[in-house]
């Protein structure tokens, strides 16, 4: 019963480098999302997806790309890392519709530092 | 736009005390409300989920209530313990914007031995 798995747990990047944060869930959740959490700013939605092939922007999408080719995976790509993207990133998933409203399940996070 | 507020931002209590954490939201059109716990450097752990048709949910020493009409939820922690020290966040899911989850900024709880 893995739930939501995020990799890596920690990452240090140099400015301008690109990387992909991985997120996978094994609960057959339609809805997946990415948040960043910064001190004093709370959780801010970056991108979300309501199913394979469907993605949309959240509050702070600039500098990030997503795709959803399968129900299980929702990777987050940093195109050209900037120090302002230093943050803790969380992936979360849930059922999208219907009566199976089991709420939101979060991954354990990726702590990213851009130097 | 839905706004979720949690007051107080921080709370310090002696061990054994019963306490209440508050969550208020501006739009009563919600699908459900969820309480989370976050330990320092960790992810969010779901504590309780209340559907919009429910008034309360209980799990062990935790009891969450929901008053949709007044836009309020409370998380009651009975007989607090030092292990309860963490940040507690509430989140509401929109009824009409089903893909939107709105988070409060959290209450940081410290239970002193």
* A45/A103 Cα distance (integer angstroms): 16
C-beta separation of A89 from A108 below 8 A: no
For residue B83, give the nearest of B29, B52, B39 by alpha carbon: B39
Judge whether B44 is closer than 8 Å to chain A, CB to CB.
yes
Ramachandran class of A102: left when φ > 0, alpha when ψ lies in -120 to 50, beta otherwise: alpha
Distance, in angstroms, between B51 CA and closest chain A CA? 8
pLDDT at A19: 96
CA angle (A39, B22, B106) in 5-degree steps: 10
Could you read off the pLDDT of B36-76 as tens digits, one per residue? 999 998 999 999 999 999 999 999 999 999 999 999 999 99
- Closest residue in B to A97 (Cα–Cα): B98
A contacts of B104 (beta carbons < 8 Å): 42
Nearest to A104 among B91, B98, B106 (CB): B91
Contact B49 A102 (CB under 8 A): yes
Contact criterion met (CB below 8 Å) for B11 and B108:
yes
pLDDT at position B86 over 60: yes
By the 8 A CB rule, do A76 and A23 touch? Answer: yes
Q: What is the mean pLDDT of each run of 10 residues along chain A (115 residues)?
A: 90 97 94 92 91 93 97 96 97 74 86 97
Q: What pLDDT score was predicted for residue A102?
A: 63
Q: How confident is the model at residue A84, as a pLDDT?
A: 96
CA–CA dist B41, B39 (Å, integer) = 6
Interface residues on A facing B, Cβ-Cβ cutoff 8 A: 31, 33, 42-43, 45, 48, 50, 56, 90, 92, 96-97, 101-109, 111
pLDDT band at B88 (very low <50, low <70, confident <90, very high): very high
DSSP A79: S
Mean pLDDT rounded to a whole number for chain B: 94
**Is A43 close to B103, i.e. CB distance below 8 A?**
yes
Instruction: Give the pLDDT score at A112.
Output: 97
> What HEC string does chain B produce?
CCCEEEECCEEEEECCCCEEEEEEECCCCEEEEEEEEECCCCCEEEEEEEECCCCEEEECCEEEEEECCCCEEEEEECCCCHHHCEEEEEEEEECCCCCCEEECCCEEEEEEC
Q: Give residue A101's pLDDT.
A: 61
pLDDT at A97: 62
What distance in Å separates the CA atoms of residue A45 and residue A60, rounded to the nearest whole number?
Answer: 6
Q: Which of A53, A48, A41, A66 minimizes the C-alpha distance to A104? A: A48
A39 CB-near residues (< 8 Å, 6+ apart): none
């Amino acid at each position: 019963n893995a739930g939501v798995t995020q990799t890596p747990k920690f990452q240090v990047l140099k400015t301008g480098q690109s990387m992909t944060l991985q997120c996978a869930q094994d609960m057959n959740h339609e809805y997946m999302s990415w948040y960043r959490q910064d001190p004093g700013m709370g959780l801010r939605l970056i991108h979300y997806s309501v199913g394979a092939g469907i993605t949309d922007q959240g509050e702070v999408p600039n500098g990030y790309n997503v795709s959803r080719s399968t129900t299980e995976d929702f990777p987050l790509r940093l195109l050209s890392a900037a120090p302002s993207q230093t943050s803790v990133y969380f992936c979360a998933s849930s059922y999208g519709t219907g009566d199976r409203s089991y709420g939101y399940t979060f991954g354990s996070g990726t702590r990213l530092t851009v130097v | 736009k839905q706004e979720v507020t949690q007051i107080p931002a921080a709370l310090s209590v002696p061990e054994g005390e019963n306490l209440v954490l508050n969550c208020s939201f501006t739009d009563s059109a919600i699908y459900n409300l969820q309480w989370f716990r976050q330990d320092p450097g960790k992810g969010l752990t779901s504590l309780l989920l209340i559907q919009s048709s429910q008034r309360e949910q209980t799990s062990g020493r935790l009891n969450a209530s929901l008053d949709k009409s007044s836009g309020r939820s409370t998380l009651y922690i009975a007989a607090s313990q030092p292990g309860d020290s963490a940040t507690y966040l509430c989140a509401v899911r929109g009824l009409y914007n089903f893909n939107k989850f709105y988070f409060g900024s959290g209450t940081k709880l410290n239970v002193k031995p």
